[in-house]
Structure 1
Amino acid sequence: MPGLTVCSLCVGETLGDADGRRGGQLARLRELEAVGAARLTLAECLDECDRGDVIVARSARSARRRSARPVWLERVAGDELTASLTTWLARGGPGQAPLPAALEAHVIDRSASARPTSTAELA
């Protein structure tokens, strides 16, 4: 079963008060776990504070053995995106099932070439 790590500090940030769902985005993610799509882990911070609703989809153990990598996503909030996420994870997630088109624009590039290497690049 894949895993899903969620930043507990920014979950629900994208929709904010406009989210009419009781419990907001965190409730959606807890439902994702309840239906068996993924194991949910809340982390206090994923160090991507300039983004919102940051989540990391972790590969199932069998996919990790085949070198599958985690997929970092941002601003995944609301019923439609969460449904796409749930379906993807239920099908196996990273390394087992293709990323749904609806989530492609939300991928965070965590490759070494995408990250600043000095404080000058941060300015």
Structure 2
Amino acid sequence: MSADTPPEKTSSCHVVVCRGCCCGTDKHPDVDHAAQLQCIRQVRHASVRVSGCLGDCDNSNNIVVVPSRAGRAAGATPVWLARILDPELTEAIAGWLDAGGPGLAPMPRELAAHRLTARGRREASEV
């Protein structure tokens, strides 16, 4: 870390990318899923995990952005994003992460329509 790196950007956001039953190639064969993961993995201050089903199959592809320690200290909570199916949305996520992510940088406008609230998500037990 250089002296120019703000301390709030040194902790990582965590990104969970669903590739369960309804996310990924089986349901969306026209999406370049490998490129989506590569784009997000290129962000220096983010770790990426591919998961099984996150339980919100009607809104696939789902990505959850978990704030960094500094973002959580600023009051941020995990952000569920739905229908992430085109490169522009993936690039918006990567840019947001690069800027600090939830709690440290505003969510890009193009992601607002893709944000799921707790009320909008089905509980995993309903799947």
TM class, shorter-length: 0.7 to 0.9
**TM-score, length-normalised on structure 2?**
0.75
Give runs of aligned pairs for residues 1-123 of structure 1, distance below 5 A. Answer: 1-9=12-20, 10-12=23-25, 16-19=28-31, 24-111=32-119, 114=120
Say whether the 8 Å CA contact 2:81–2:115 is kept in structure 1.
yes
Q: Give the 3 Å change call, closer, same or farther, for CA 13–56 of structure 1 in structure 2.
A: farther
Letter in 2 for 1:47: G
Where structure 2 has 5 or more consecutive residues not aligned to the other structure, the ranges are 1-11
Deviation at 1:86, TM superposition (A): 0.6
Where structure 1 has 5 or more consecutive residues not aligned to the other structure, the ranges are none
What is the CA–CA distance in structure 2 between the aligned matches of 1:53 and 1:116, rounded to whole Å?
Answer: 14
Letter in 2 for 1:5: V
**TM-score, length-normalised on structure 1?**
0.77
What is the CA–CA distance in structure 2 between the aligned matches of 1:27 and 1:115, rounded to whole Å?
Answer: 26
Q: What is the aligned-residue RMSD (CA, Å)?
A: 2.3
What is the CA–CA distance in structure 2 between the aligned matches of 1:104 and 1:43, rounded to whole Å?
Answer: 23
Q: Percent identity?
A: 33
Structure 1 ranges of 4+ moved more than 6 A: none
Instruction: Name the SS for the 2:54 alignment partner.
Output: coil
Deviation at 1:77, TM superposition (A): 2.0
For 1:20-74, what per-residue CA distance to the aligned partner results, in whole angstroms no more than 9, with x for missing partners? xxxx124322332133252101111111112211110110011112331010010
Deviation at 1:97, TM superposition (A): 0.6
